[in-house]
A and B are shown apart, each in its own frame.
Chain A
């Protein structure tokens, strides 16, 4: 069965769900058909995808956790925690 055609407004409203892989199969298929045919919507999706990639990349800026790790272990040992050998 071919998916029913959707307009640009409907396609745009699905932007984030699509990029988050949260769209159910039916709406996903409708959107993909629309994006293949619509030159106007495609740039919005490309732009948002790039933005998301950069936001997700912020995770690489992890802080050092050794200090807080030993502090937590100390507090847990005071509660009777036994296992940590580190």
Chain B
């Protein structure tokens, strides 16, 4: 490659390495698998740099490559092309709302309001099934719009919505369970606290 193209590659494409590393990690789970995935992604990107169109967003171009590499490595293409039994986006949204209504009833919603969720959130995201995790990562963590996520993954926008909303609903359930358990713990601690004056 010419020096100029290499310099452009460095400036536009290599600069996205932290984003790609994060994306790879969200798919691969394991850190060393993720590093292999990152390396392979940049090698392919370098070899295929001529297919990069001026005006393309480098980060999204890399995410697309990274996902292809991942699918090929894991030979999971079949799993990916099969659409799971997802509801339409509005019914997935309603399930989150109904979940909140239930949590308003048992008090976990208000407990969650006052809690620090950060310790629970990374694990909850990591536990999401892959298709939903990728959507949450692309839209919520990387800030892509629905359309951008759809183009990056080569799926219809409706699929982005359904998977994203399902992923968020699963996260909501996990975090509410976290809040409920924390509430139980403090209630148990209260029950076992020495009560002065008791017989």
Q: Are A83 and B47 interface neighbours, CB within 8 A?
A: no
Interface membership of A61, Cβ < 8 A: yes
Minimum distance in angstroms from B132 CB to a CB of chain A? 12
Q: Are A81 and B1 interface neighbours, CB within 8 A?
A: yes
Q: Are B21 and A47 interface neighbours, CB within 8 A?
A: no
In the complex the two chains form, what is the Cα distance from A76 to B136 in whole Å? 30
* Residue from the set B89, B90, B97, B171 with the largest chain A CB neighbour count within 10 Å: B97
CB contact list, A17-52 vs B, under 8 A: 17, 20, 22, 43-44, 47-48, 50-52
Q: Are A15 and B96 interface neighbours, CB within 8 A?
A: yes
Q: Are A22 and B100 interface neighbours, CB within 8 A?
A: no
Pick the residue among B97, B104, B118 that contacts A12 (CB under 8 A): B97
Pick the residue among B6, B21, B25 that contacts A82 (CB under 8 A): B6
Pick the residue among B14, B42, B113, B141 that contacts A56 (CB under 8 A): B141
Q: Are A84 and B42 interface neighbours, CB within 8 A?
A: no
Q: Are B140 and A51 interface neighbours, CB within 8 A?
A: no
Using A16-B168, A75-B42 as known contacts, say yes or no to A63 and B90 having CB atoms under 8 A apart.
no
> Which of chain B's residues has its CB closest to A83's CB?
B6
Nearest 6 pairs of A and B residues by beta carbon: A83-B6, A13-B90, A83-B7, A83-B10, A12-B97, A59-B141
Q: Report which B residues bind A (CB closer than 8 A).
A: 1, 3, 6-7, 9-10, 14, 17-18, 21-22, 25, 31, 35, 38-39, 42-43, 46-47, 89-90, 93-94, 96-97, 100-101, 104, 109, 113, 117-118, 121-122, 125, 136, 139-141, 145-146, 161, 164-165, 168, 171-172, 175
Q: Report which A residues bind B (CB closer than 8 A).
A: 9, 12-17, 20, 22, 43-44, 47-48, 50-52, 54-59, 61-63, 65, 67-69, 71-73, 75-76, 79-84
Q: A44-B100, A65-B18, A83-B7 are in contact. List 5 more A-B contacts (CB 8 A).
A: A16-B164, A47-B113, A52-B140, A72-B17, A75-B43
